[in-house]
């Protein structure tokens, strides 16, 4: 042994467990959960399914059915709806943050919209948009726009608070004030708003497809069929796919948000 003893308080290299204690516990918990489910579920697998059956069904979904296409169809509805929400939301949010009279006039209504469960509007939206893809896109817009409006308004207010004086002394006014001060200053806030909106938007897509059944099929449609067939394996498989899509979006948007707000101290 030629290496010197490691200094007190420092971990000896090579002696560390390859994974942390928390990971071990989490994997253990997951294994326990799966084993319990397998044992209990196999008594009445038409009702409770089992991990094995769900896994088989999921492989089937991807291999034989067009699960990837369904996910992409749902995601494309999300992207279109989100694009509309961002445009509308940023415009309204900038107005709200910049002009006090605008916020005095319309903020109470926007807060009201925020507090109302949007699902209640589904019947009305079916009447307005039919049961096609328009409905799904409209429900994404309904779910996401308010979040982006408030995020943008908060960003613009914060930017005014910090930069209004500097902009004034540099004689930045009019369109330039919006273009080079307010919008760039509020981008981190808008990014946060978009992250929250994506989370809510994907739920809106699935709910929309599930409730009204849309022609270009999506994840929600898959769920709808599973329900009609009372196929527990398929329901679990779909729920897990929906979850994976949600997690994936969560990670991607989190990464993008960090990219866009690198200079800003973490406030929430």
Tokens representing residue 129 in the block: 């948009």
Tokens representing residue 34 in the block: 């799966």
Smallest distance, Å, CB 147 to another protein? 8
Smallest distance, Å, CB 207 to another protein? 5
- Residue 27: count other Cβ atoms within 10 Å of its Cβ: 11
Smallest distance, Å, CB 61 to another protein? 14
Nearer to another protein, 6 or 99 (CB): 99
Nearer to another protein, 1 or 24 (CB): 24
Locate tokens 């009019």: which residue?
174
Smallest distance, Å, CB 12 to another protein? 25
Q: What is the DSSP letter of 160?
A: H
Cβ-contact 131, 212 below 8 angstroms: yes
Nearer to another protein, 12 or 128 (CB): 128
Cβ-contact 232, 54 below 8 angstroms: no
Tokens representing residue 206 in the block: 């699935």
Residues in the chain: 268
Helix (H, G, I), strand (E, B) or coil at 111: helix
Angle of helix 100-115 relative to helix 67-98, nearest 10 degrees? 140
Smallest distance, Å, CB 239 to another protein? 4
Nearer to another protein, 141 or 236 (CB): 236
Smallest distance, Å, CB 7 to another protein? 27
- Residue 15: count other Cβ atoms within 10 Å of its Cβ: 7
Nearer to another protein, 7 or 47 (CB): 47
Tokens representing residue 43 in the block: 């008594």
Nearer to another protein, 137 or 147 (CB): 147
């Amino acid at each position: 042994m030629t290496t010197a003893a490691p200094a007190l308080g420092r971990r000896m290299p090579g002696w560390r467990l390859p994974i942390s204690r928390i990971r071990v516990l989490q994997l253990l918990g997951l294994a326990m959960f799966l084993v319990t489910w397998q044992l209990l579920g196999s008594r009445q697998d038409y009702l409770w399914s089992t991990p094995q059956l769900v896994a088989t069904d999921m492989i089937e979904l991807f291999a034989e059915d067009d699960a990837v296409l369904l996910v992409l169809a749902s995601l494309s509805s999300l992207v279109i709806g989100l694009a509309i929400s961002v445009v509308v939301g940023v415009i309204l949010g900038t107005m709200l943050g910049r002009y006090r009279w605008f916020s005095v006039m319309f903020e109470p209504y926007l807060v009201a919209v925020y507090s109302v469960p949007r699902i209640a509007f589904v019947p009305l939206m079916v009447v307005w948009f039919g049961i096609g893809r328009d409905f799904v896109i409209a429900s994404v817009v309904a779910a996401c726009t308010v979040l982006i409006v408030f995020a943008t308004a908060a960003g613009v207010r914060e930017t005014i608070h910090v930069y209004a004086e500097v902009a004034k002394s540099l004689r930045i006014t009019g369109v330039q004030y919006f273009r080079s001060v307010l919008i760039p200053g509020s981008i981190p806030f808008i990014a946060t708003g978009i992250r929250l909106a994506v989370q809510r938007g994907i739920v809106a897509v699935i709910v929309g497809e599930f409730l009204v059944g849309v022609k270009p099929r999506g994840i929600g449609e898959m769920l709808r069929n599973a329900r009609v067939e009372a196929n527990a394996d398929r329901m679990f498989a779909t729920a897990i796919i929906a979850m994976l899509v949600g997690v994936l979006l969560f990670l991607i948007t989190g990464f993008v948000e960090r990219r866009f707000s690198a200079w800003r101290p973490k406030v929430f």
